Amino acid sequence: VRLENLDVEETTCGFCAVGCRFEMWSKDGDTIGTVPVDDPSAAPANNFSTCVKGKFGHEFANSDRRLTEPLVRTDSGEFESVSWDDALEYVAERLREIQNEHGVDAVSCLASSKGTNEEAYLVQKFARQVLGTKNVDNCARLCHSSTVAALQQTLGYGAMTNRINEDVGEADAYLITGSNTTESHPVLATRIKQNVRDGADLVVFDPRQVGIAEHADQYTRTEPGYDVAWINGLIRYVIENDLHDEAFIERNTTGFEDLREKVRPYTPERVEEVAGVPAAELESAAETLAAADTVVFGWAMGMTQSSHGTQNILALANLALTLGQLGKPGAGLSPFRGQNNVQGGGGDMGTLPGSLPGYQDPSDGEVREKFADAWGEHPPAEPGLKVPEMFSEAHEGNLRGMYIVGENPALSEPDVQHAGEALEALDFLVVQDIFMTETAEHADVILPAATSPEKHGTFTNTERRIQRVRPTAAPPGDARQDWEITQELANRLGYDWDYDHPREIMDEISDLAPIYGGVSYDRLEEGPQHGLQWPVPDEDHPGTPYLYDYEDGNFNFEDGRARFVPADSGQPGEIPDEDYPLTLTSGRVLYHWHTGQLTRRVEGLMSHVGESFVEIHPELAARLDVTDGEYVRVESRRGEIVVKAQVTERVDAGTLFIPMHFAAGAVNKLTQETFDPQSGIPEYKVSSVRVEPL
Ligand code: SF4
Asked if 416 and 666 count as a contact pair (C-beta separation under 8 A), the reply is yes
pLDDT number for residue 665: 87
Q: How many domains does the chain have?
A: 3
Residue 41 pLDDT class (50, 70, 90 cuts): low
Could you tell me if residue 136 is inside a domain?
Answer: yes
pLDDT number for residue 527: 60
Question: Which of 311, 335, 359 is a domain's end point?
Answer: 335
CA distance 455 to 115: 9
Could you tell me if residue 539 is inside a domain?
Answer: no
Q: Ligand 1, atom 3: nearest CA belongs to which residue?
A: 51
CA distance 307 to 310: 8
**Residues 159, 121 share a domain:** no
AA identity, residue 283: E
pLDDT number for residue 413: 86
| Residue 19 CA to ligand 1 centre (angstroms) | 6
Q: Is the pLDDT of residue 407 over 80?
A: yes
Share of the chain above pLDDT 70, in %: 98
Q: Is the pLDDT of residue 151 over 70?
A: yes
Q: Tell me: the pLDDT tens digits for 162-175?
A: 999 889 989 999 99
- From residue 404, alpha-carbon distances to 52, 99, 537, 662 in Å are 29, 17, 32, 20
pLDDT number for residue 366: 96
Share of the chain above pLDDT 90, in %: 80
Question: Relative to the CA of 16, which ligand 1 atom is closest?
Answer: 2
**Residues 204, 106 share a domain:** no
Q: Which residues contact 112 (CB under 8 A, 6 or more apart)?
A: 119, 120, 123, 138, 139, 341, 345, 405, 406, 407, 482
Question: Relative to the CA of 185, which ligand 1 atom is closest?
Answer: 5
User: Mean pLDDT, the chain, as a whole number?
Assistant: 93
Q: Which residues contact 162 (CB under 8 A, 6 or more apart)?
A: 168, 296, 331, 332, 333, 334, 463, 545, 546, 547
Choose the residue to mutate in 10, 11, 12, 16 for probing ligand 1, maximizing ligand atoms within 8 Å of C-beta.
16
The torsion defined by the Cα of 576, 582, 585 and 591, in degrees rounded to 10, comes to: -170
Question: Relative to the CA of 593, which ligand 1 atom is closest?
Answer: 8
CA distance 160 to 642: 38
Could you tell me if residue 99 is inside a domain?
Answer: yes
Question: Relative to the CA of 14, which ligand 1 atom is closest?
Answer: 1
Q: Which residues contact 390 (CB under 8 A, 6 or more apart)?
A: 108, 110, 135, 137, 399, 402, 422
Q: Which of 88-102, 563-577, 589-603 has the lowest mean pLDDT?
A: 589-603
Could you tell me if residue 627 is inside a domain?
Answer: yes
Question: Relative to the CA of 188, which ligand 1 atom is closest?
Answer: 5
pLDDT number for residue 43: 55
Q: Tell me: the pLDDT tens digits for 437-472?
A: 999 999 999 999 999 999 999 999 999 999 999 999
Q: Is the pLDDT of residue 1 over 60?
A: no
User: Mean pLDDT, to the nearest integer, of 159-163?
Assistant: 94
Here the ipTM equals 0.99
Choose the residue to mutate in 13, 459, 465 for probing ligand 1, maximizing ligand atoms within 8 Å of C-beta.
13
**Residues 328, 256 share a domain:** yes
User: Mean pLDDT, to the nearest integer, of 372-384?
Assistant: 95
**Residues 379, 327 share a domain:** no
pLDDT number for residue 47: 63
The DSSP 8-state label assigned to residue 360 in this structure reads: B
Could you tell me if residue 548 is inside a domain?
Answer: no
| Residue 586 CA to ligand 1 centre (angstroms) | 21
35 DSSP β-pair partners: 23
Q: Which of 5-9, 233-237, 339-343 has the lowest mean pLDDT?
A: 5-9
Q: Is the pLDDT of residue 2 over 90?
A: no
| Residue 36 CA to ligand 1 centre (angstroms) | 10
Q: Ligand 1, atom 1: nearest CA belongs to which residue?
A: 54
Q: Tell me: the pLDDT tens digits for 196-205?
A: 999 999 999 9
**Residues 296, 189 share a domain:** yes
Q: Which residues contact 364 (CB under 8 A, 6 or more apart)?
A: none
User: Mean pLDDT, to the nearest integer, of 236-249?
Assistant: 98
**Residues 132, 149 share a domain:** no
Q: Ligand 1, atom 2: nearest CA belongs to which residue?
A: 16
**Residues 185, 132 share a domain:** no
601 SS3 class: helix
Question: Relative to the CA of 187, which ligand 1 atom is closest?
Answer: 5
Q: State the pTM of this model.
A: 0.94
Domain harbouring 620, CATH code = 2.40.40.20
What is the span of the domain harbouring residue 628? 582-693
| Residue 13 CA to ligand 1 centre (angstroms) | 6
pLDDT number for residue 553: 93
CA nearest neighbour of 227 among 690, 691, 693, 685: 685
User: Mean pLDDT, to the nearest integer, of 256-282?
Assistant: 96
**Residues 193, 129 share a domain:** no
Q: Ligand 1, atom 4: nearest CA belongs to which residue?
A: 20
pLDDT number for residue 27: 86
**Residues 487, 402 share a domain:** yes
Q: Is the pLDDT of residue 528 over 60?
A: no
End-to-end CA distance of the chain: 56
Who lines ligand 1 at CB under 6 A? 13, 15-16, 18-20, 46, 50-51, 53-54, 185-187
| Residue 46 CA to ligand 1 centre (angstroms) | 8
Could you tell me if residue 305 is inside a domain?
Answer: yes
Domain harbouring 195, CATH code = 3.40.228.10
**Residues 157, 100 share a domain:** no
Residue 33 pLDDT class (50, 70, 90 cuts): confident
Question: Relative to the CA of 51, which ligand 1 atom is closest?
Answer: 3
pLDDT number for residue 246: 97
Q: Is the pLDDT of residue 433 over 80?
A: yes
CA–chain centroid gap for 286, Å, is 29
Domain harbouring 109, CATH code = 3.40.50.740
Q: Ligand 1, atom 6: nearest CA belongs to which residue?
A: 54
Q: Is the pLDDT of residue 208 over 90?
A: yes
Asked if 353 and 180 count as a contact pair (C-beta separation under 8 A), the reply is no
Question: Relative to the CA of 18, which ligand 1 atom is closest?
Answer: 7
Q: Tell me: the pLDDT tens digits for 318-336?
A: 999 999 999 999 999 999 9
pLDDT number for residue 56: 86
| Residue 45 CA to ligand 1 centre (angstroms) | 9
**Residues 345, 247 share a domain:** no
Question: Which of 313, 335, 357 is a domain's end point?
Answer: 335
Please report how many Cα atoms fall inside a 13 Å half-sphere around the Cα of residue 588, on the Cβ side: 28
Asked if 648 and 214 count as a contact pair (C-beta separation under 8 A), the reply is no
Q: Tell me: the pLDDT tens digits for 611-666?
A: 999 999 999 999 999 999 999 999 999 999 999 999 999 999 999 999 988 888 89
Q: Ligand 1, atom 5: nearest CA belongs to which residue?
A: 187
Question: Relative to the CA of 34, which ligand 1 atom is closest?
Answer: 6
Asked if 169 and 176 count as a contact pair (C-beta separation under 8 A), the reply is no
Question: Which of 305, 335, 365 is a domain's end point?
Answer: 335
Could you tell me if residue 422 is inside a domain?
Answer: yes
Q: Which residues contact 436 (CB under 8 A, 6 or more apart)?
A: 65, 67, 446
Asked if 509 and 529 count as a contact pair (C-beta separation under 8 A), the reply is no
pLDDT number for residue 59: 87
| Residue 650 CA to ligand 1 centre (angstroms) | 24
Q: Tell me: the pLDDT tens digits for 596-616?
A: 888 888 888 888 988 999 999
Choose the residue to mutate in 22, 37, 48, 51 for probing ligand 1, maximizing ligand atoms within 8 Å of C-beta.
51
**Residues 503, 453 share a domain:** yes
Choose the residue to mutate in 11, 59, 185 for probing ligand 1, maximizing ligand atoms within 8 Å of C-beta.
185
pLDDT number for residue 523: 93
CA nearest neighbour of 672 among 660, 683, 658: 683
Could you tell me if residue 39 is inside a domain?
Answer: no
Residue 35 pLDDT class (50, 70, 90 cuts): confident
Task: Output 526 or 250, whichever has higher pLDDT.
Answer: 250
